[in-house]
Amino acid sequence: MSCGRYDDLVDRLQVVADDLDQITFDQLREASAEGRARPADDKRLTQARRAVEKAIHLLRANSGIEGSGVDE
């Protein structure tokens, strides 16, 4: 896989991470508005987000584009 393909993959994974964030925030907002506890899916979505962030970090390390917005 060339660096250009890593860049594209990193961009696509970032979109997935952003989507996971949006779903998590929406669920938390709804639960809060309804006076419910933290949603059951919150932990699973957070774990998925972290896994995607790890993949982004690993791909960036391989392609030399470190430090582009993902916490290390």
Q: What is the pLDDT of residues 25-46, one digit of tens each?
A: 999 999 999 999 999 999 999 9
pLDDT at 71: 46
Nearest to 42 by CA among 17, 56, 25: 25
Residues 6+ positions from 27 with CB-CB distance below 8 Å: 39, 41, 42, 45
pTM here is: 0.76
Can you give the C-alpha Rg of the chain in angstroms?
Answer: 15
pLDDT at 46: 96
2 HSE (CA, 13 A, CB side):
1
29 near 1, Cβ under 8 Å? no
